[in-house]
Structure 1
Amino acid sequence: MMEQLNNITLHFGDCMDMLKNMPDKSFDLAIVNPPYFSGPERRQFYGCKVSKIGVKRLYEKSETWEVPTAEYFDELQRVSKYYIVWGCNYFNYIFAPGRIVWDKCNGSSSFSDCEIAATNLFTSVRLFPFMWNGMMQGKSVNEGRIMQGNKKLNEKRIHPTQKPVALYTWLLTKFAKEKWRILDTHLGSGSIAIACENFGCSLLGIEKDEHYYHAARERIIHYQHQQHAPSKTQG
């Protein structure tokens, strides 16, 4: 199933079914966050509504959590000129030497202090600080170490491995060009779609979990409607 939402194309299905039928270098840049070995499927409660210690979660348990094999990464590199792969440190695969580190500024949290992505865009290491720990979220792309004071402005968390729009905004601003064709094989919460909408590039977002596909779709449509809604100051 395919659906066009402005410059965002959504596909409900398995990304491998699509990748195998795509021509070489169909996309300028792939930015992906595939499931990895120590993800929610190993934490028992992280994808459930209520944890073993009684903490309520808003996330639905996914029945489609599947760690990709080398075949996936081979296809990803074939169809994309450049790539950014989050969680590269969890995969037994040889990536290009470039690295991007997302510093979550999470203080004393028991969760990881950062996430690491591999890329063939460059051969050095780049750092992006942006607070992302429960209700503590960064203020902006340029003020990521400062906590957003108004919690009402926080992004709503709809996915267990959701990444902030600010992260994708920084990636696109720093490394992409306007009108580039972007690929995301594991759409998740759809944060990347909002960043692409603002940046002016097209996106193909693929998601095979039905619940999260529709959740991301609703989020994207809601955002697009907000962007095109008439201002209250207009007559």
Structure 2
Amino acid sequence: MNQIINGDSLELMKDIDNGSIDLIITSPPYNIGKEYEKVMDIQDYKAWIKQYVKEFYRLIKDTGSVVFQIGNYVEKGKVYPLDCLLFDLFLDEGFIPRNRIIWHFGHGLHAKKRFSGRHETLLWFTKTDEYKFNLDPVRVPQKYPNKKAYKGDKKGQLSGNPLGKNPSDVWEISNVKSNHPEKTDHPCQFPIELVSRCIKSMTDVGDLVMDPFLGSGTTIVSAIQENRNSIGIEKDAHYCQIAEERVLSVTA
């Protein structure tokens, strides 16, 4: 099952059963005036996000996770990291923080009066301590793959896991800009690699993944590639069409 729904996600999520989602992964508008959002007072923005956080807690299973990818709110040259401003909303709802993942990309914003911003963050929360985490599918190559222990009981054996090492909480993944092969009309697009690492590590085959700010459909595309079920909600009909076309291309 892979569903793309056009409409208001706060309203549509009310029709989804309690504790039915294995992973919610999403990136909301940053309140910076993009074509798909209306800029609010920052306190109003936080109150709006809080409504989503409450729904997330209701919807995910006890073994489930929420990954909330976010950047900065910028007002008249002042930069506010939204992960810091919104973090307490998740704690107040009862979520348990697991990682603050740094997504670093090598190009993007060019600044003249401050250092250029080249990273955003993913906040990973769970509902309980009995959450899913599968490290092996997302291991990355060892720095020294043939390094062996030189003493002790394991002398002569490989000192690192032959399947690779933990990718850590800093992810070097290109962002989707004009020349990126995944680029669509959406101005702020997830790269598939970013989403797939979360899906592979935090869910099992057949689990249900949801993205209430679907945008160009990357979460659905990644879920299909990893043999998961998915629900995506997007209020903009044009972006829904882009998502549907991407889904058709990947299923073909």
Same fold (TM over 0.5): yes
Report 1:200-215 matches (<5 A).
200-215=227-242
Q: Which residue of structure 2 aligns with residue 73 of structure 1?
A: 53
What is the TM-score with the length of structure 2 in the denominator? Answer: 0.64
Give % identity. Answer: 24
The answer to whether 1:155 aligns with 2:182 is yes
Give the SS at the match of 2:103: strand
Structure 1 residue runs of 5 or longer lacking an equivalent are: 1-6, 42-46, 48-60, 138-153, 226-235
1:48-103 C-alpha deviation (Å, 9 max, x unpaired)? xxxxxxxxxxxxx4367885331111111210131001117414352343212211
What is the aligned counterpart of 1:30 among 5, 12, 24? 24
Q: Which residue of structure 1 aligns with residue 174 of structure 2?
A: 131
8 A Cα contact 2:184 2:242, kept in partner? no
Report 1:126-205 matches (<5 A).
126-132=169-175, 134-135=177-178, 137=180, 154-205=181-232
8 A Cα contact 2:176 2:182, kept in partner? no
Structure 2 residue runs of 5 or longer lacking an equivalent are: 72-80, 91-95, 132-167
Number of equivalent positions: 181
What is the aligned counterpart of 1:114 among 110, 119, 125? 119
What is the TM-score with the length of structure 1 in the denominator? Answer: 0.68
Q: Which residue of structure 2 aligns with residue 103 of structure 1?
A: 104
Distance 1:160 1:109, change over 3 A: same
Q: Distance in 2 between matches of 1:36 and 1:28?
A: 25
Q: Distance in 2 between matches of 1:222 and 1:34?
A: 25
